[in-house]
């Protein structure tokens, strides 16, 4: 008995005895379990590499560890060139693109590749996080499982959201924040139908994490300093600071990527990126790796341990030198992260965002406490709230930021300052930067799903499905008689495209344009198509126009049919009636 026969019997049994709703709940539990296993696996592989590097000869020599990130990038380069043979895609943007334009179908290779490339990048000191690759791998598992069990597109999207929630819940042990992340970032609807699978996946993933790593958490900290009403103004200041820092984070990300795109080979990117990272690590060692140790040291008040060994060790008894170095981490963490990714590394941006936010929050607290104005605030609390401010600003995910920090600290004592800082940061960033690092390129392509149902339906629509090609093509030099004989008499359409020898559209003819001369035989040989053709009111660019732009062109032109141009040549027409019919059908599928 073949595996296809077995699968067919399993599917038949499932259709008979398990309802669709219950089957989705079972799949969400299984996906949560697998997402937890992926997260534990990717962390263990990475930490094993880090441990090996710490014991290596290279690390035993002072300041030589800065060459390790370059070595890690080179190993990733070799893997991509000789094994995967495909360019690296950033985790969450590629998933979002798949949801909008590929019906949530992810390649099976994306299950394994992040488990290799991300540990090589981070384990050797690349300044990125593991969460993005964990989400990528778990989402690929979910997508392929959905294909295996013949799950429809909408349910497959929900299960990919479950995979993302599971990965976050496992790494941070924060199931509520994980659910909210899936809703905010993946634009899932907050309904009972979606909430229950997300909840089951998160719980399943957290339990998996507890089973393998026990009670260990990333942040070993419990809030001891409660919120004081007198600190409200300072948390507003922190919110403004994290908002500005979030804008900087996004701007520097795109600027550095633009710079690296000027290199014509991946090897040149690697060498330049490795050199830049090495220089930054020499002066600011906490930029090495993910940075969880740095955050924990800051929250424990161990500034010297957090900063590590730097060329400025003799001056660390001066608090303003410490503050300056922490400002350097705030500024250069974004640079180091983006450089690692642009140079060919694989990783995520969420954990670097936490590192940058923790440094900024600590800086703000230290400045307040050392200005000599007799103010005193909790540095640990500002460190935590600073992380939330950056997450809210960079990801445009304010609720995720609030609940993530609340859950990882084991309580909700900081809920009010979290809400103050997060709201300020989000408002400032959202007004200055419309789209996040995840969504900017997708929005420009018209491939971004949002909570706006109308826009999402247009994004999900496929232009190919509404293009009609059963139009008889005319040529400019054809006589009126020839056009009537070989065109009008054989067509059920009242519209005719006119193209030249290269199939370039040069005009269109409407039946109404020739109605008054159709029966004047004296014109059959003396006039040509060129005499009667006119320009279309607008045309659709197949490569560049999104469905939103197509709909807008129909609205502004008032046309009933618009020609489609692909690579400069005529392809077909889109009619308003067929477009609206397809829109209504997609809307029903999307909201059912």
Same domain assignment for residues 209 and 238 = no
Distance between CA atoms of residues 221 and 218, nearest Å: 9
Taking the CA atoms of residue 560, residue 566, residue 571 and residue 577 in that order, the dihedral angle to the nearest 10 degrees is -30
Residue 63, pLDDT > 80, answer: no
Which of 186, 213, 240 is where one domain is finished? 213
Radius of gyration of the chain (CA): 29
- The three-point CA angle 129-133-134 to 5° equals 100
pLDDT grade for 263, boundaries at 50, 70 and 90: very high
Give the per-residue pLDDT at 88. Answer: 84
Of 467, 457, 468, the residue nearest 548 (C-alpha):
457
Same domain assignment for residues 447 and 460 = no
List C-alpha distances in Å: 319 to 313, 450, 540. Answer: 12, 45, 62
Residue 181's contacts (CB-CB under 8 Å, 6 or more residues apart) are: 164, 165, 168, 397, 400, 404
Same domain assignment for residues 257 and 386 = yes
Domain CATH code at residue 465: 3.10.580.10
- The three-point CA angle 333-334-337 to 5° equals 80
Residue 59, pLDDT > 70, answer: no
Distance between CA atoms of residues 100 and 446, nearest Å: 9
Same domain assignment for residues 181 and 311 = no
Same domain assignment for residues 353 and 464 = no
Domain count, the chain: 3
DSSP state of 289: S
Domain CATH code at residue 17: 1.10.3080.10
Q: Are 165 and 205 in contact (CB under 8 A)?
A: yes
* 278: in domain: yes
Residue 217's contacts (CB-CB under 8 Å, 6 or more residues apart) are: 173, 408
* 219: in domain: no
* 221: in domain: no
Most confident of 208-217, 220-229, 390-399, 543-552: 390-399
Give the per-residue pLDDT at 65. Answer: 64
Distance between CA atoms of residues 585 and 489, nearest Å: 34
Query: H helices then E strands: how many in the chain?
Result: 26, 6
Domain that holds residue 349: 229-451
* 122: in domain: yes
Mean per-residue pLDDT of the chain: 88
Got the DSSP string for 366-388?
HHHHHSSSS----HHHHHHHHHH
Most confident of 182-191, 259-268, 278-287, 354-363: 354-363
Of 173, 174, 199, the residue nearest 32 (C-alpha):
199
Residue 327's contacts (CB-CB under 8 Å, 6 or more residues apart) are: 359, 363
Q: What percentage of the chain exceeds 70 in pLDDT?
A: 96
* 28: in domain: yes
pLDDT digits (tens, 9 = 90+) for 109-134: 999 999 999 999 999 989 999 999 99
Give the per-residue pLDDT at 64. Answer: 60
List C-alpha distances in Å: 67 to 48, 63, 70, 282, 331. Answer: 18, 9, 6, 10, 22
- The three-point CA angle 56-62-67 to 5° equals 65
Backbone angles phi, psi at 191, to 5 degrees: -130, 165
Same domain assignment for residues 426 and 486 = no
Within 284-349, residue ranges assigned H as helices are: 292-300, 303-307, 319-342
Residue 582's contacts (CB-CB under 8 Å, 6 or more residues apart) are: 461, 465, 466
Residue 58, pLDDT > 60, answer: no
* Residue at token pair 């070595």: 71
Give the per-residue pLDDT at 492. Answer: 80
Residue 57, pLDDT > 60, answer: no
HSE-up of residue 447 (Cα within 13 Å, Cβ side): 19
pLDDT grade for 56, boundaries at 50, 70 and 90: low
* 435: in domain: yes
Please state the separation of Cα 567 from the chain's center in Å. Answer: 29
Same domain assignment for residues 460 and 584 = yes
Give the per-residue pLDDT at 39. Answer: 94
pLDDT grade for 91, boundaries at 50, 70 and 90: confident
Same domain assignment for residues 263 and 336 = yes
Residue 388's contacts (CB-CB under 8 Å, 6 or more residues apart) are: 357, 401, 402, 404, 405, 418, 421, 422
Give the per-residue pLDDT at 38. Answer: 96
Q: Are 563 and 541 in contact (CB under 8 A)?
A: no
Give the per-residue pLDDT at 181. Answer: 94
pLDDT digits (tens, 9 = 90+) for 389-443: 999 999 999 999 999 998 888 767 889 999 999 999 999 999 999 889 998 888 8
* 220: in domain: no
Of 169, 164, 180, the residue nearest 91 (C-alpha):
164
* Residue at token pair 């000027």: 262
Cα distance from N-terminal residue to C-terminal residue, the chain: 38
pLDDT digits (tens, 9 = 90+) for 138-162: 999 999 999 888 888 889 999 999 9
Same domain assignment for residues 376 and 250 = yes
Mean of pLDDT values over 5-28: 84
Distance between CA atoms of residues 82 and 169, nearest Å: 34
Mean of pLDDT values over 367-372: 91
Got the DSSP string for 478-520?
-BHHHHHHHTGGG-S-SEEEEE-TT--EEEEEEHHHHTTTTT-
Backbone angles phi, psi at 189, to 5 degrees: -75, 135
Which of 213, 237, 258 is where one domain is finished? 213
Residue 57's H or E segment, with its range, is helix 57-60
Got the DSSP string for 233-283?
HHHHHHHHHHHHHHHHHHHHHHHHHHHHTT-SSHHHHHHHHHHHHHHHHHH
Give the per-residue pLDDT at 61. Answer: 52
Distance between CA atoms of residues 276 and 283, nearest Å: 11
Which of 149, 180, 213 is where one domain is finished? 213
Range in 6-10, 209-213, 564-568, 575-579 with the lowest mean pLDDT: 6-10
Give the per-residue pLDDT at 591. Answer: 67
Distance between CA atoms of residues 287 and 267, nearest Å: 23
Same domain assignment for residues 293 and 392 = yes
How many CB atoms lie under 10 A from the CB of residue 258?
A: 10
Q: Are 582 and 466 in contact (CB under 8 A)?
A: yes
Give the per-residue pLDDT at 1. Answer: 58
Distance between CA atoms of residues 262 and 264, nearest Å: 6
Same domain assignment for residues 74 and 87 = yes
* 504: in domain: yes
Residue 3, pLDDT > 90, answer: no
- Give the pairing of strands 569-575 and 467-468: antiparallel
Same domain assignment for residues 180 and 272 = no
Taking the CA atoms of residue 131, residue 137, residue 140 and residue 142 in that order, the dihedral angle to the nearest 10 degrees is -80
């Amino acid at each position: 008995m073949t595996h296809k026969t077995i699968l067919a019997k399993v599917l038949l049994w499932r259709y008979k005895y398990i309802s669709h709703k219950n089957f989705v709940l079972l799949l969400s539990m299984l996906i949560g379990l697998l997402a937890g296993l992926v997260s534990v696996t990717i962390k263990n592989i990475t930490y094993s590499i880090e441990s090996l590097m710490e014991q290596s000869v290279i690390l035993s020599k002072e300041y030589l560890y800065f060459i390790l990130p370059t070595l890690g990038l080179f190993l990733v380069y070799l893997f991509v060139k000789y094994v995967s043979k495909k360019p690296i895609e950033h985790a969450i943007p590629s998933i979002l693109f798949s949801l909008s334009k590929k019906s949530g179908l992810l390649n099976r290779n994306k299950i394994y590749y992040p488990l290799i490339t991300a540990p090589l990048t981070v384990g050797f000191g690349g300044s990125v996080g593991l969460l993005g690759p964990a989400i990528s791998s778990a989402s690929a598992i979910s997508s392929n499982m959905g294909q295996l069990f013949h799950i429809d597109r909408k349910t497959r999207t929900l299960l990919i959201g479950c995979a993302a929630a599971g990965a976050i819940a496992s790494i941070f042990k924060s199931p509520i924040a994980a659910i909210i992340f899936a809703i905010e970032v993946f634009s899932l609807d907050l309904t009972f139908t979606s909430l229950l699978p997300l909840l089951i996946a998160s719980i399943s993933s957290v339990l998996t994490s507890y089973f393998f790593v026990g009670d260990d958490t990333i942040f070993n900290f419990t809030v001891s300093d409660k919120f004081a009403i007198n600190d409200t103004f300072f948390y507003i200041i922190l919110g403004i600071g994290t908002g500005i820092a979030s804008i900087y984070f996004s701007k520097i990300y795109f600027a550095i990527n633009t710079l690296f795109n000027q290199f014509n080979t991946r090897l040149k990117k690697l060498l330049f990126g490795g050199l830049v990272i090495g220089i930054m690590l020499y002066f600011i060692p906490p930029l090495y790796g993910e940075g969880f140790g740095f955050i924990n040291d800051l929250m424990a008040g161990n500034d010297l341990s957090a900063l590590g060994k730097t060329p400025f060790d003799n001056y660390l008894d001066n608090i303003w030198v410490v503050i300056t170095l922490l400002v350097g981490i705030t500024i250069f963490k974004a640079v180091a992260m983006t450089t690692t990714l642009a140079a060919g590394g694989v990783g995520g941006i969420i954990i670097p965002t936490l590192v940058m936010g923790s440094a900024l929050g600590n800086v703000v607290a230290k400045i307040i406490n050392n200005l000599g104005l007799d103010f005193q605030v909790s540095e640990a609390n500002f460190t935590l709230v600073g992380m939330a401010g950056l997450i809210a600003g960079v990801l445009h995910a304010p609720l995720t930021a609030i609940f993530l920090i609340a859950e990882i600290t084991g309580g909700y004592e900081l809920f009010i300052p979290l809400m103050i800082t997060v709201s300020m940061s989000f408002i400032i960033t959202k007004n200055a930067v419309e789209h996040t690092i995840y969504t900017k390129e997708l929005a420009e392509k018209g491939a971004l799903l949002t909570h706006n149902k109308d826009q999402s339906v247009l994004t999900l629509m496929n232009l190919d499905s509404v293009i009609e090609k059963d139009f008889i093509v005319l040529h400019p030099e054809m006589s009126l008689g020839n056009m009537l004989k070989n065109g009008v008499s054989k067509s059920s359409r009242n519209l005719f495209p006119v193209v030249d020898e290269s199939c370039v559209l040069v005009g269109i003819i409407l039946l109404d344009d020739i109605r008054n001369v159709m029966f004047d035989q004296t014109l059959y040989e003396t006039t040509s198509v060129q005499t009667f053709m006119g320009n279309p009111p607008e045309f659709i660019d197949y490569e560049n126009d999104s469905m939103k732009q197509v709909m807008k062109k129909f609205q502004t032109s008032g046309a009933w049919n618009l020609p489609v141009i692909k690579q400069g040549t005529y392809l077909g027409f889109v009619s308003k009636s067929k477009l609206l019919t397809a829109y209504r059908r997609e809307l029903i599928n999307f909201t059912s």
